[in-house]
Amino acid sequence: MEWRSDRSLQLRMGLTLAFVLLLPFAFAYVMLFLLNTVGLELLEFATERPWNGEFYVDPLLLVGAVVVGFAAQYALGDRVALRSVGARRVDADERPELHAAVTRLSSQLDLPVPDLAVSRTDVPNAFTVGRSPASATVVVTTGLLDRLDAEELEAVLAHELAHVKNRDVTVMTLAFFLPTLTYFVAMAAYVVLQGVFHVLGGFRHADDDGAKGLAVAIVVLTVSAILTLAVSAAFWVGSFLFFRLLSRYREYAADRGAVSLTGNPGALASALRTLDETMTELPDDDLREQDGGLEALYVAPIDAPQFGADRDLISRDVFPATHPPTEDRIERLREMDRGLESR
């Protein structure tokens, strides 16, 4: 098969970037609206006097803050990802066959040879991170290296390099900015709520004036924290849903890219089957260690029912899965295989 640019993937990446760029501003102005409505009412309630004027954010300052956030995500995203799974970069002396395979495949795609990193875990998987093709790092686990034969491993590496060629690795790195931002804002609001409940014990020892002041403070903090938590959660859900919709389609595109590179769809289908079957046999604790926010980047999904009914409810009914069904991917690969055989 000949390598072809996927226009549908490019369109999805463009829409995702536009969505991710706009949402931080929408989030900031929704919070500003709440400050100027509910927030001013709370101030009047707390101080027992009217408040004139309104809160204001300089648009240039907001643009600067968003740019800094994206720049930090762009610069540090790959390091954070590698650290989260305990991956260590390896050179050609440590893994000569692995380096040789990646070098050969990269040459076929006219790509710079990416760095290689290995994560010591029994969970068989692989993913790629990086700001650009020149700074990409392909990560494989020891579980993957132990379970796949040479052809299957080559197919998985080709799949990961297809992500680099399609440049969706860069988009996925940036797309995590808003979910990360809103998650931390929501967590800060949750911590404030915890603190409010903690100080409720102060009512026992406060006089009338102190109790009144404490009650006012608790009301103000509780309402503020609940509103912040609700808005942050809503934006987190929205951005994460959009992020996952891109992550699903890009897997099909990378599967097609791997086949065009290796000409061996059966090897990738066999590798996906092996990974899928192995996941169900591994302890939940091992799987959770690899499920720290990077699940959308893996070649094979790990947010599957083996985590139990409660997690399955959260993963499938509230959020779309990070990957298309493995059976669908395997069937598409088999169709490609039949197409190649008929030529």
Amino acid letter, residue 242: F
Q: Is 160 a catalytic residue?
A: yes
> What's the CA gap between 267 and 259, in Å, rounded?
9
> What's the CA gap between 52 and 44, in Å, rounded?
10
Asked if 27 and 235 touch (Cβ cutoff 8 Å), the reply is yes
Q: Which of 116, 65, 68, 66 is nearest to 94 (CA)?
A: 116
Write out the two tokens for 241: 């849903």
What is the full DSSP assignment across 8-70?
A: HHHHHHHHHHHHHHHHHHHHHHHHHHHIIIIIHHHHHHHHTS---S-----HHHHHHHHHHHH
Asked if 13 and 167 touch (Cβ cutoff 8 Å), the reply is yes
Catalytic residue among 160, 251, 327, 335: 160
- The residues assigned a catalytic role are 160
